[in-house]
Amino acid sequence: MKHLTKILILTFLSTYLISCDSEEISTNNAIKSFDYSLFNSFKEKSIWIEFPSEINKMNTILEKNRAITKHIDNELGTSLNLTSEAVEDARYTSQEIIQIGLNEGFFQNHDEYLITNLENDFQNLDFETGISNYERNVLYLNLDNTTFEKYNVWANVLKIINSEDSSIFGAKSQKGCFTSILAYSGATVAVGLACTPNPTTPASCPLAISLKALAYYNMIDAFKD
């Protein structure tokens, strides 16, 4: 957790105005496209978010992870409700996270396919090609608008993590590290979309989800050392 006490994040609370409970604005048959307003807003403005140093001193990953979630909620006025064991504990491998997701119902069989394809593309091609293929695979699923939004947020979160460290999804990265980040970030998005936003700042939910994924990335950053 060498970066955990201070994580450089990008704020979009004044410019990114989507809600966690945003209304569907088009029918399921309308042409969908990925919206990267979240990621672009992250790039435009940056702030430092401090995590209490006491978190580093906690004995278990579970304690640290719950403390991180609580701190994010306190800072943003959200309620992430990350009740899944896979998200709370943060010790599992990619396959273990996927299996928990399938058992608990926040992952479907196509999610395993999407994660596997992202793994292969990031390892053998490059990040942008992997994201492009991911977009095409998601659009092929012909999802309803609410479900599609989950995958749209996930793509934004992956871009945010990649902007934090472009080597994490590269060919030279340790596969066990970045595959866990893929599965964990997907689980965080899937579970976190039940987030209760700050009434005055509806965009706080996507920000909270992104912060949680970034905190996980920083917790396992030791893989790269």
DSSP 22-61: PPP-S-TTSPP----HHHHHHHH-EEEEEPPGGGGG-SSH
Token output for 72: 């994010």
pTM, two decimal places: 0.76
pLDDT at 102 over 80: yes
pLDDT at 133 over 90: yes
**How does 152-166 read in b/e, with b if 16+ C-beta sit within 10 Å?**
bbbbbbbbbbbebee
Q: In whole angstroms, how far apart are CA 133 and each of 8, 42, 43, 140, 161?
A: 28, 23, 23, 11, 18
Residue 18 maps to a domain: no
User: CB atoms < 10 A from the CB of 5, how many?
Assistant: 15
The mean predicted confidence, pLDDT, of the chain is: 75
- What domain range is 107 assigned to? 62-224
Closest by CA position to 149, among listed 205, 216, 105: 205
Residue 31 maps to a domain: no
* Measured distance CA(163)–CA(127) in Å, rounded: 11
Residue 212 maps to a domain: yes
Q: What is the average pLDDT across 187-200?
A: 69
pLDDT at 147 over 60: yes
Closest by CA position to 16, among listed 32, 49, 39, 33: 39
* Measured distance CA(138)–CA(153) in Å, rounded: 12
Q: What is the average pLDDT across 34-57?
A: 78
Number of folded domains that form the chain: 1
Residue 204 maps to a domain: yes
Residue 95 maps to a domain: yes
Residue 133 maps to a domain: yes
Residue 197 maps to a domain: yes
Residue 182 maps to a domain: yes
pLDDT confidence of 161, banded at 50, 70, 90? confident
For tokens 């998601």, what's the residue? 138
Token output for 71: 């701190």
